Amino acid sequence: MDKLSSSESSRTTAHEPQTTWHRVRDSFKRAESPTIPESTSALDIKIEGAENSDGNLNKSLKKRQLQMIALGGCVGSGLFIGSGPALATGGPGALLIGWAVVSSFLYCTMQSLAELAAVFPVSGSFATYSTRFVDPSWGFAIGWNYALFWVIVLPLELVASSMTIQFWQSDINTVVWVAIFYVFILGLNLCGNKGFGEAEFVASVIKVLGVVGFNILAIVLICGGGKSGFIGAKYWYHPGAFSAGFKGVVSVLVTAVYSLAGTELIGLTAAESSGDPSIVLPKAIKQVFWRIMLFYMVTLTMVGFLVPYDSKKLVGHASSDASASPFVIAINAGGIKVLPSIFNVVVLVSLLAIGNSSVYGFSRTILALADQGLAPSIFSYVDRAGRPLAGIALAAFVGLLSFCAASPKQSEVFAWLMALSGLSTLFTWFSVCLAHLRFRWGMQRQGRDLMELPYTALTGWIGSLYSCVCLVVVLCFQFWTALFPLGKQPDAKVFFENYLGAVVVLLFFVGHKIYSRKLNTIVPLDTMDLDTGRRNNDLELVKQENYEKLAAYRAMPWYKKVINFLV
């Protein structure tokens, strides 16, 4: 009788309609993890860890969201504000050379990432690829360094956003704005990847419109449409194209890398794409070419024409202050009263969007590390709504550092925080290219056909090799400028503020070697796992589709081939 009553009770409860509160409450419960066969080895479990977590993450990011993330995502203070000090340091010529060089190997890096992500759309792609194709200790170091980068970016962007508000000379305390933006960003991430995707889509649209609008206005001002009259190329002659020669160009390279940091974030979205990653992701990553041309090369050319590198306004404010933005300086110089405020809104939206990306990037990276056994298991907690709650919670906790904005030691605190992962972007891009090279070598050693790949990098393995060489050179240049700062005497504090990130990566790498008690853990090419994590394991079908695509491509007229390459 008791059993019957219990059964009836459970059926009644199961059929009771759930309220919104119950649905919200239950969404925070742990999602059911996919079962792993008992015969699976411990090594296979670690390799498959990131893939298994993908079953818990919601695959709801839409094609339009991925395309806009690739086009306008992570465009923020590095371009709108950081380009000001870079212009003052190197001049307009150095500005273009620096961004052109960095953009060239970034494009190759993104093509390598497109190939790997199309084949293996797994969570935490960078750390996972490094662990599988290079070395587990290297994967540990890169994964944690990338996670550190994003978790530190959140408080930095919150403070920068609150300072940007002061452009309108608000009487509201800066800390109040920090609190408002803090709650807003965490709220977006608690909405799952839908909140992240839609926020990034809207922010990217605003940034695209803002940059296109600025470029049109810049042409008008250069041609004499502003109160300064005809400008033309006079600032290229006086004060000149270069302010500090070769060393100035080298200094600009570092700023260019920082401004383009986060472009690789699109790779983390592969596991949460609603469409076929082998189709959607490469198309989205192709947008990076247009992002480089529109946002950086064209726009920075305009900035170099409109603002002289010796302008006192470029260095007269804190680097995170929107009034130091060369964009705002150019608009003000043109005598247009309303547009500086409008463009400042674009800057603010950009900063908040990067803050939103930082929580997403950190939570997904540390989730992948936990699934590979390279981080505490608590960070593998993914709820029924597909949110890696433990990672979001830790990001929220570290985000409280943003309230240091009320402290007179604010700049010193953030300088050292940023130093912890200041070179993260260089190591992350290098890791992507190295993993791609190792993957291609593994394919060759095991006699595998490249036609098994749903997408092959347009720049091939040569592009990855080129990027690796360039990144090592930039790292060496960074060491030089950190040791001998431009216009200053050598200073230990300045050196470690600029190069501590390399020491952190080395400590992570060596620390993992010591902890694992294995010195040689480089993945052998002969036994490299080239299949785990594929969404489509029917290799014959993939080959057939690729041969059909190749035949169709060869039949295209030349102009369609060019369009296909770029779009």
Domain ranges of the chain: 72-536, 539-566
State the pLDDT at residue 516.
86
Average pLDDT on 213-228 reads 90
- b/e for 295-316, b at 16 or more Cβ within 10 A? bbeebbbbbbbbbbbebebbee
State the pLDDT at residue 33.
57
Phi, psi of 273 (to 5 degrees): -80, 135
* All residues at 6 or more sequence positions from 64 whose CB lies less than 8 Å from its CB, including other chains: 201
The model's confidence at residue 540, banded by pLDDT at 50, 70 and 90, is confident
Query: Facing residues of 344 across strands?
Result: none
From the number of C-beta atoms within 10 Å of its C-beta (0-12, 13-18, 19+), residue 172 rates as exposed
pLDDT over 70 percentage in the chain: 88
Centroid of chain to Cα 299:
20
Better-scored residue on pLDDT, 212 or 291: 212
Residue 318 has pLDDT above 60, yes or no: no
Better-scored residue on pLDDT, 80 or 319: 80
Q: Which of 6-15, 134-143, 215-224 has the lowest mean pLDDT?
A: 6-15
Cis peptide before 340 (omega within 30 of 0): no
Residue 468 has pLDDT above 90, yes or no: yes
- Cα(77)–Cα(417) distance, rounded to whole angstroms? 17
Q: Are 77 and 162 in contact (CB under 8 A)?
A: no
Residue 506 burial (CB count, 10 A): 11
Better-scored residue on pLDDT, 73 or 539: 539
Residue 217 has pLDDT above 70, yes or no: yes
The model's confidence at residue 26, banded by pLDDT at 50, 70 and 90, is low
The model's confidence at residue 39, banded by pLDDT at 50, 70 and 90, is very low
Average pLDDT on 219-248 reads 88
Residue 316 has pLDDT above 70, yes or no: no
User: What is the pTM for the complete model shown?
Assistant: 0.87
Residue 231 burial (CB count, 10 A): 21
State the pLDDT at residue 184.
94
- Cα–Cα nearest to 75, from 87, 63, 83: 83
Structure tokens at 524: 């052998």
Cα angle 216, 221, 224; round to 5: 130
Q: Which of 51-60, 246-255, 461-470, 520-529 has the lowest mean pLDDT?
A: 51-60
What is the per-residue pLDDT across 498-513, written as a single tens digit (0 to 9) for each?
Answer: 888 888 899 999 999 9
Task: Tabulate helix, strand, coil % of the chain (nearest 5).
Answer: 75, 0, 25
Residue 18 has pLDDT above 70, yes or no: no
Average pLDDT on 264-277 reads 77
The model's confidence at residue 220, banded by pLDDT at 50, 70 and 90, is very high
- Cα–Cα nearest to 98, from 246, 236, 237, 239: 246
State the pLDDT at residue 36.
44
- Cα–Cα nearest to 108, from 259, 231, 288: 288
Structure tokens at 129: 């690829």
CATH number of 72-536: 1.20.1740.10
pLDDT over 90 percentage in the chain: 30
- Cα(150)–Cα(391) distance, rounded to whole angstroms? 11
Q: Are 72 and 205 in contact (CB under 8 A)?
A: yes
- Cα(303)–Cα(215) distance, rounded to whole angstroms? 9
Query: Facing residues of 30 across strands?
Result: 383
State the pLDDT at residue 40.
39
- Cα(155)–Cα(415) distance, rounded to whole angstroms? 12
